[in-house]
Chain A
Amino acid sequence: MNWRAVRTIIRKDLKVVRQTRAVLIPLIIVPVLVLVLLPGVGGALLATADPDSEAIRDFRRESAAFFDHLPAPISERLAQYDDEVQRITYILFNLFFPPMVLLLPTMVANVIAADSFAGEKERKTLEALLYAPTTDRELYLAKLIGPWLAGVAVGWLGYLAFAVVITLTTLSFMGGIFVLDATWLLLIFWVVPAASGLGLGAMVLVSSRVSTFQEAYQLGGVVVLPILLLLFGQLGGVVYFSPLLALAVGAVLWALALGLMGYGAGSFKRGALIARL
């Protein structure tokens, strides 16, 4: 395996992404919005909320069905808190934000892979690359690793930023870090890499059928649907993130991602690629 060539391709693809505003801007804005601003504002608002206020009491009353049907481990955890603001805070950031954290690696890997696979065709830079002294396998691996690593890195950094913002804004009434437990750890170290792989795998599939970055980006975007389903499932009280669910979601995403990547490997042949240029 020519690891120097693999590293070189990864480095170059990521460098090009850093230098391309059209690709970089969504990669910065979305994580900042979803994992910093949104939770930051939410945390700050909750920090100033009066647990005995009418608004909190109304909210709790309207969400009674949701709160009453929570799984036992979550209910037990909520019982440890003294007031409704704390309980709402815990539920908001532990149930509704995990899918957001998963959304990011999927999206980031998806966008970077779109640039790396379809963008290379669009910019007419693929031909020279196909003449490089790498095997098809090395080339494919290099094209996979870059977007995957970027997706994982953004997922992890996003979670870190989210945890810091939430802890800082809610420390006054929550008394410590409450977005770190077994479920979160599984999400971060098992599901985030799988989600990044899924975003990548979907793009491998899409990019073999399109010729521009925009087309690939738009078509590949459907990959976030399973993650959105998880979010709506939590909102509707159908599923709740638990260590078991995190393990299962990770396993499904890994299976999908590896299946798509395996399928992509079959069509990632120099001869086929160059014939389509």
Chain B
Amino acid sequence: MALPAIHLQEVTRRFGATTAVDKLSLTVEAGEIFGFLGHNGAGKTTTIRLLNGVLAADGGVIRVLGLDPGTQGSQVRARSGVLTETPSLDERLTAVDNLTYYADLYGVPPGQVRGRTAAVLERFELADRAGEKVGGYSKGMKQRLALARAFLHEPEILFLDEPTAGLDPVAAQEVGRMIRHLSRDEGRTVFLCTHNLVEAQRLCDRVAVMERGRLAAVGTPRALAREIGAEMRYTLEVAADQRETARREIALLPAVKYVETADAELTLTLSDREAAPEVLARLLAAKVRVYALTPHESSLEDIYMALHRQGQERGMQ
């Protein structure tokens, strides 16, 4: 069985009285695109730092490509590429100088530095301005250059913190295509931190949602929807003259959270899937002619918001 790319077991990291990462356990398989979601301060960046041996954990076990970042940090970093939240480029140097610097730091063979640098600049459409100082670049160009730097030494794992932030839709789509290519065609593992849930849903094989340093959920977006009961929005189509009756009857059920009227349909929000048969039984008992009760496929955004609400409710208790 292939070694997982990332394995965390009960990992904890504290900063004074604040627990940034709290008993985090998860596994990322090699070649997977793994989405790591959460609000600001949820512990995403701290996790990336722990995985690269830039920060030491207070407890738990971390393995990246079978290595312990705590004691073999430089070996882990040699095999990983990181796009940090800010581009972290030297704006007084040109794009070529920035990339050459990191190619040398990451041990790209000297004979290949020039070729690799030119290739990534071409790939990220920066070749025509490669000789300009980065200080004159737009935000999107800096982001592309920082991405180019992360790809430069052809790492086995890529840690991408908001890779499409600041990019226009076309460039963002191109980055998404590239991430898929890196995973599907080249077998590289991608650990993707993002607030862009549409992007995460489109790209990720699995996602983990962090809430205040804790893992709130992990799985494929579809499995998560089932697991947390987020598939709870339904469209109800009934006879036009019975819409108000239906609305009144349904509203009496405790499992029905909201009922909205939209055009000729009713939109229901149920507390869980088990409420759907109850709704139908109630309507049939009231002799309402039901034409359709259609579940909505939950988006990652629905799941994320549901998890966030649950987290907040737990926090208030």
Contacts and interface: CB of A to CB of B under 8 A. Distances in A.
B90 A125 contact: yes
A122 to B, nearest CB: 11
B55 interface: yes
B105 A133 contact: yes
Contacts of B107: 2, 4-5, 133
Interface in A1-59: 2, 4-5, 8-9, 12, 15-16, 19-20
A274 B105 contact: no
Interface of A is mostly: helix
A2 B74 CA distance: 10
Nearest to B110: A4
B92 A5 contact: no
B84 A127 contact: yes
Nearest to B79: A133
A128 B149 contact: yes
A131 B104 contact: no
A20 B92 CA distance: 8
A124 B78 contact: no
B168 to A, nearest CB: 23
A135 B74 contact: yes
A195 to B, nearest CB: 28
A133 to B, nearest CB: 4
Contact of A270 (B54, B88, B90): B54
Contacts of B30: none
B92 A19 contact: yes
A128 B107 CA distance: 15
Nearest to A17: B92
A65 interface: no
Interface residues of A, number: 27
A15 to B, nearest CB: 7
A157 B104 CA distance: 30
A271 B88 contact: no
B228 to A, nearest CB: 33
A178 B83 CA distance: 59
A134 B56 contact: no
A272 B86 CA distance: 19
Contact of B56 (A9, A124, A271): A271
A123 B104 contact: no
Given A8-B105, A128-B149, A130-B54, A15 B93 contact: yes
Contacts of B97: 12, 15
B102 A132 contact: yes
A133 B88 contact: no
A125 B88 contact: yes
Nearest to B90: A125
Contacts of A127: 84, 86, 88
Contact of A274 (B54, B77, B78, B106): B54
B12 to A, nearest CB: 15
Contact of A5 (B15, B89, B104): B104
B225 interface: no
Contact of B90 (A16, A133, A135): A16
A98 to B, nearest CB: 35
A30 to B, nearest CB: 22
Nearest to A20: B92
A124 B88 contact: yes
B104 A128 contact: no
A275 interface: yes
Contacts of A123: 90-92
B78 to A, nearest CB: 4
Nearest to A274: B54
- Most chain A C-beta atoms within 10 Å of own C-beta, residue among B90, B91, B104: B90
B77 A131 contact: yes
A209 B105 CA distance: 27
B52 interface: yes
A5 B56 contact: no
Interface in B74-132: 74-75, 77-78, 82, 84, 86, 88-93, 97, 101-102, 104-107
Nearest to B81: A131
Nearest to B56: A271
Nearest to A131: B82
A133 B49 contact: no
B67 to A, nearest CB: 12
B24 to A, nearest CB: 17
Contacts of A270: 53-55, 73
Given A124-B88, A128-B89, A9 B54 contact: no
Contact of A275 (B15, B74, B82, B146): B15
Contacts of B56: 271
Contacts of B92: 16, 19-20, 123
16 contacts: A4-B104, A4-B107, A8-B105, A12-B97, A12-B101, A16-B92, A123-B91, A125-B88, A128-B146, A130-B54, A131-B54, A131-B82, A131-B84, A132-B105, A133-B78, A134-B105
Given A128-B102, A128-B146, A128-B149, 15 more contacts: A4-B104, A123-B92, A125-B89, A125-B90, A126-B88, A127-B88, A128-B88, A130-B54, A131-B52, A131-B54, A132-B77, A133-B105, A135-B73, A270-B54, A271-B54
Interface of B: 15, 49, 52-56, 73-75, 77-78, 82, 84, 86, 88-93, 97, 101-102, 104-107, 146, 149
* Pairs A-B, 10 closest by C-beta atoms: A128-B88, A133-B78, A8-B104, A133-B77, A131-B82, A132-B105, A133-B74, A127-B88, A271-B55, A12-B101
